[in-house]
Amino acid sequence: MKKSYDFSKSKKNPFAKELKQQVTIRLEKDVINYFKKLAQETGIAYQLLINLYLKDCVMSGKKPSFSWKTAA
């Protein structure tokens, strides 16, 4: 292994930013706590678990279902 390397002519990976996109979302505390507990049980980071769950929803075409009671 060299003592130092010259990265002055290196280029950024053009595909790196296509892999993931950083976003800010607001989640309820109980949701975060659920995934953090699951992370401790599985040894997988909670952010990755949330991403895997959402990806599963995308792949299987799951859609949320909502029902509100209408005022009389």
- What is the rounded distance in angstroms from the CA atom of residue 25 to the CA atom of residue 66? 20
- What is the CA angle 35-18-55, rounded to 5? 35
Residue 62 pLDDT > 80: yes
H-assigned helices in the chain: 16-19, 29-42, 46-60
- What is the CA angle 62-63-66, rounded to 5? 140
Q: Is the pTM of this model over 0.75?
A: no
- What is the rounded distance in angstroms from the CA atom of residue 1 to the CA atom of residue 3? 7
pLDDT digits 0-9 by tens, 18-33: 788 889 999 999 999 9
- What is the rounded distance in angstroms from the CA atom of residue 53 to the CA atom of residue 70? 31
